[in-house]
Structure 1
């Protein structure tokens, strides 16, 4: 969304709520914020006293905007908060079209539009996505900074990719170029060979940027794969693209399974982040690294990309969020008791909550029956549980470790790599170096599964 479009929305809403639009100096401040200027720079460029903008106009503007959107607005978070607010105002404007359709087609109503089965990431503009305003504002603000690095960590099916989709959508609205690569999609022979992996990375990024690959011009075995890859990014990709590039790497934990590759590739990402501190061209590159586990490949502190940049750790739903989502599924949960019962079984696990609410909204099962059959092969989570069990059977050491946790009455200390892997699957929580079941669903199901 352009700044002019956003200002139009803000002015309309401010007139409705406060009976006056933005004045000329307030618009100057917003335009300056969009260009990453300080208040002093904005004032000097427009022949105002810096103190007037800093001490008078800006505080009053932030107060007005905070009252309008219902969140505290500061210079630091102004842009992401306002863009999220403006985007939310655009969606309801399609309501007249829905009403127009229902006038001519009475059978097409909001009530009889069924939600799709929740699987994978939640699509953009889906009413079944629970926003994380503070986290999203933090991530949006960070990727607008030159040379940024954002690290998103959470177990599987906790909403990492859904957040990533919205972050990339936000970047596109800033007119940034975006590239998203899922490392789960790489064939193992490529992932286990550093040279092949880095060439795959360069070609994949090139294609998503709609450029012609020119690897042979930059690849030189005498200087090595890491340097060749760096020269290709700096000398070709970053030179060819005028706008910032957001490179999102999803499921980076796949690299952890190949320590020799990880020991070179992960420091390479760190070096690009560090290069942005001294070379302007690297400031175009904004990195988003998404992973499920803690890294268990030993790296020197000054080589790891996991101790720099902005760390984001996603947690499960709160009871208020479960209650809010139930309302979106048109369930008449008024006192919070049903939400508490569901969370007692599945915790705040987003995917498990979504699946339960989907089935309940269709009237296929009542909550009491759903909870009774949940940890069984015939319950709504049967496929989910059996899929996890099939994975564990392929890795007997994981199955034994999990059975130890599920059978214990207190948190258990596991070998770190096994703990990280079970945590990445989402089956356990880690409290320091001790493991416990992530929810009762998993405890009740897996304590009855005997590892071979």
Structure 2
């Protein structure tokens, strides 16, 4: 049993016995014990003094665990006693905890299966049964945000599941006892996004609000030192000092700031500086950043590479055949033999949004799979609005339209000019293998063949 599962069990039993769950400092100590670290090493990585952990937190933690399992727990025997205790728990209890962590209770899942599912648009809610886990990616992010001063970048074209993944990362962070703040730049006024000082004040005010702290911007803002330094001091010397656990700050739809180059060229280096400050300032290690953005913004901005290149990069990709089968099962559709799932993937290539849309209509019985596939690329098909969005972009970017026409009219992979290839790939329209381009899926080939031509 891994440590995360064990912590889930311990927290559930603590709550059942009307005690508080483990806080972030106690979890930090347990992780250190599992890695056979000294208290000094644990303190160094967590930004605490060794004396505080050794003389205050650790004795109280051992006392709480001893009371819970009925045996005396010490640093030396902690691991073996807790593992034995966890293994002895009923299987049903462990399964219920795993459902609770994902934000889905067993009762909620049953309720969903008895009701009509909502149209798949936007992020998948935490309590929805219609979600495909990206286990390797999720575990990678969970591990990263436990590291002091971490920064994670999640990027992909639109409708690939970025925000759905973010919701689950934040849920995991809360379960670890971390404070979380999530800001969506799509909800920010243009007047704010276009002015660096106003934007940074907006950022600090919103973080304060979500942390339920009194905003004290004017006490830290100083025009003589500039808005970037003022913002950094506010977060470091006020916000982080006021909380006793790590803070996971998630910025979604960061692509909107790219539309204001003068602001972006100051804001993105500021995020980089916070990430680098954690290497030298213990207080900054409490801040864990998650940056989420759509790669399609690269197209109108004439960008040749990602504008932000620090931290752990996460690139979301299409679903595998097994994941499509799993999702079909969640929709109540039995595709166990894989034939139908493969037929759908042959057309949409495992694109998360396109797979979900197909399964939604199939679940409702409004169309059969052969009918859906036959009309997929037409104006009466279920994908018309998705295809139309891409077509509008291509009409505004003639060089991309010409390049895509070349790709879809070729029966073999072809090379493209690097910047063109990068942009079409960022839109999700092509796949690249050693700079050789092919259409991402047959749906795009069928639709754009009727729209594009080469002279």
TM-score (norm 1): 0.76
Aligned residue number for residue 16 of structure 1: none
Aligned pair partner of 1:442 in 444, 447, 452? 444
Aligned equivalents of 2:85 and 2:255: distance in 1?
41
With over 3 angstroms needed to count, the CA separation of the structure-2 counterparts of 1:89 and 1:365, relative to structure 1, is closer
* Residue 150 of structure 1, CA deviation: 1.3
Aligned residue number for residue 346 of structure 2: 344
Aligned equivalents of 1:366 and 1:440: distance in 2?
19
With over 3 angstroms needed to count, the CA separation of the structure-2 counterparts of 1:94 and 1:203, relative to structure 1, is closer
**1:77-105, Cα deviation, whole Å (9 max, x unpaired):** xxxx997476369722668xx6xxxxxxx
RMSD over equivalenced CA pairs, Å: 4.1
Aligned pair partner of 1:360 in 350, 362, 378? 362
Aligned residue number for residue 37 of structure 1: 32
Aligned residue number for residue 51 of structure 2: none
Asked if the contact 1:426–1:438 (Cα under 8 Å) also holds between the matched residues in 2, the reply is yes
Asked if the contact 1:219–1:225 (Cα under 8 Å) also holds between the matched residues in 2, the reply is yes
Aligned equivalents of 2:357 and 2:282: distance in 1?
47
With over 3 angstroms needed to count, the CA separation of the structure-2 counterparts of 1:394 and 1:199, relative to structure 1, is farther
Asked if the contact 2:408–2:449 (Cα under 8 Å) also holds between the matched residues in 1, the reply is yes
Aligned equivalents of 2:11 and 2:220: distance in 1?
47
Asked if the contact 2:152–2:312 (Cα under 8 Å) also holds between the matched residues in 1, the reply is yes
* Residue 306 of structure 1, CA deviation: 2.0
Aligned residue number for residue 244 of structure 2: 242
SS of the residue 1:145 aligns to: coil
* Residue 139 of structure 1, CA deviation: 1.5
* Residue 239 of structure 1, CA deviation: 2.5
With over 3 angstroms needed to count, the CA separation of the structure-2 counterparts of 1:34 and 1:192, relative to structure 1, is same
* Residue 349 of structure 1, CA deviation: 0.5
Question: 1:247-396 counterparts in 2 under 5 A?
Answer: 247-293=249-295, 306-307=309-310, 309-396=311-398
Asked if the contact 1:263–1:297 (Cα under 8 Å) also holds between the matched residues in 2, the reply is no
The answer to whether 1:87 aligns with 2:90 is no
Aligned equivalents of 1:85 and 1:10: distance in 2?
16
The answer to whether 1:136 aligns with 2:114 is no
Aligned residue number for residue 6 of structure 1: 9
* Residue 388 of structure 1, CA deviation: 2.2
Asked if the contact 1:377–1:385 (Cα under 8 Å) also holds between the matched residues in 2, the reply is no
Asked if the contact 2:102–2:171 (Cα under 8 Å) also holds between the matched residues in 1, the reply is no
With over 3 angstroms needed to count, the CA separation of the structure-2 counterparts of 1:40 and 1:272, relative to structure 1, is closer
Asked if the contact 1:178–1:247 (Cα under 8 Å) also holds between the matched residues in 2, the reply is yes
With over 3 angstroms needed to count, the CA separation of the structure-2 counterparts of 1:223 and 1:417, relative to structure 1, is farther
**1:55-96, Cα deviation, whole Å (9 max, x unpaired):** xx399769969xx79xxxxxxxxxxx997476369722668x
Aligned residue number for residue 120 of structure 2: 118
With over 3 angstroms needed to count, the CA separation of the structure-2 counterparts of 1:2 and 1:34, relative to structure 1, is farther
Aligned equivalents of 2:236 and 2:37: distance in 1?
34
With over 3 angstroms needed to count, the CA separation of the structure-2 counterparts of 1:89 and 1:282, relative to structure 1, is closer
**1:272-331, Cα deviation, whole Å (9 max, x unpaired):** 1111122121122110011233978689x9xx8523x33322221111111111112122
Asked if the contact 2:348–2:354 (Cα under 8 Å) also holds between the matched residues in 1, the reply is yes
Aligned equivalents of 1:137 and 1:6: distance in 2?
18
